[in-house]
Amino acid sequence: MASGSSIARRARELARDGSSPVLARYLAHGVQQLTAEHVGTAAHAGDQVAMDLIKSSGTLIGEVLAGVVNSFNPSLILIGGGVAKIGAVLSNDPARGLSLSTQHLRIDYSSMGDDAGITGAIALALEHIFIPEG
């Protein structure tokens, strides 16, 4: 619901129906596929519809991350994939999590770009295969 591809799909809808003038201009100027990065650029250019799309996506991501933080208490969360190309999607908001859970929490963007999710999945699979039981 808030992945880079979901944001891009919604951006295409908003561009085609004329709701977002900046995103519509991208399509008019030959951009074949809008991306989450285009949405970020449109928002930085002042497109209110793109800003609202980022805000709603950030809220969804924040709600999921709050659950993760409250359950697992990580010290670092990395945002990757297409969402990372948008820019500041969500903030480190302690009000969403338990204060002890967020006291030392850092949220940052992965430098792995679009490959972050698949790289993590491969790492987990390799760890499961090659770490001896017991």
Number of structural domains, the chain?
1
Distance between CA 100 and CA 96 in Å, rounded?
12
- Domain containing 18 equals 4-130
As a dihedral over the C-alpha atoms of residue 22, residue 23, residue 27, residue 32, rounded to 10 degrees, the angle is 140
pLDDT digits (tens, 9 = 90+) for 69-114: 888 889 998 887 777 777 664 444 444 555 666 778 888 888 887 7
* Distance, CA of 11 to CA of 52 (rounded, Å): 11
Whether 15 contacts 27, CB under 8 Å? yes
Q: What CATH number should be reported for the domain holding residue 83?
A: 3.30.420.40
Q: How many CA atoms lie within 13 A of 45 on its CB side?
A: 15
Predicted model pTM: 0.74
DSSP secondary-structure letter at 132?
Answer: P
Q: What is the pLDDT of residue 134?
A: 64
Residue 82: per-residue pLDDT: 74
